[in-house]
Amino acid sequence: MIAIITGDIINSQKSDTEIWLPKLKELMASWSSTPENWEVYRGDEFQLKCSVDGVFHKALLLKSLIKTFENLDVRLAIGIGNEVFRSEKITESNGSAYVNSGRLLTDIKLNGRTLAIQTENEKVNRDLNILFKWASIDFDNWTAATAEIIHQLLRNSELTQEELAKELNITQSSVSQRLKRANFDLLQETNQFFKKKIAEL
């Protein structure tokens, strides 16, 4: 069983691709190799293969990265299933994980959502998608400044608020306020809940 994230950048036409695209590629390259495990195509769409238990964390990293750029957002469709054909290019591989993710991206575009999951288990789908609807209320409203802090902490959980404040040249109280506004503790609890639910598959 594998996880596939299919995503597309919202408002990409209103932003300079040269600003956000290298950062997106750099992030995915830190996880695995391209084009076998990830690829950007059609300018503002991408696909990523990863482990099932780590997929929500990676989705949060992708979301927080893109939200650091003013006026940009990202839709993320998580598909979980099998891989029946593995090509040298992820966009040519196939299996239920790929089908679930690709079809789901089309659905969430139509429904105005930015995060959803599709597995072979309808109960897991129902529970996690309700959770994602609530969580997206926070995710979709992150400011660029808040997203930057979330992204840094997701990449390095050992960072203290003091270290983060120094790195971003802001006060420790500003870091604390932004984390509270972003419900960072709840975000971590959501990740743990996701892992428990996904273990039911």
Specify the pTM.
0.95
What tens digit of pLDDT does each residue of 32-49 get? 999 999 999 998 999 999
Q: What is the pLDDT of residue 182?
A: 86
What tens digit of pLDDT does each residue of 56-76 get? 999 999 999 999 999 999 999
What tens digit of pLDDT does each residue of 139-197 get? 999 999 999 999 999 999 899 999 999 988 999 999 999 888 888 989 999 999 999 99
> What are the chain's domains?
2-199 (3.30.70)
- Three state DSSP letters for the chain: CEEEEEEEEECHHHCCHHHHHHHHHHHHHCCCCCCCCEEEECCCEEEEEECCCCHHHHHHHHHHHHHCCCCCEEEEEEEEECCCECCCCHHHCECHHHHHHHHHHHHHHHHCCCEEEECCCHHHHHHHHHHHHHHHHHHCCCCHHHHHHHHHHHHCCCCCHHHHHHHHCCCHHHHHHHHHHCCHHHHHHHHHHHHHHHCCC
Q: What is the pLDDT of residue 51?
A: 96
Q: What is the pLDDT of residue 14?
A: 85
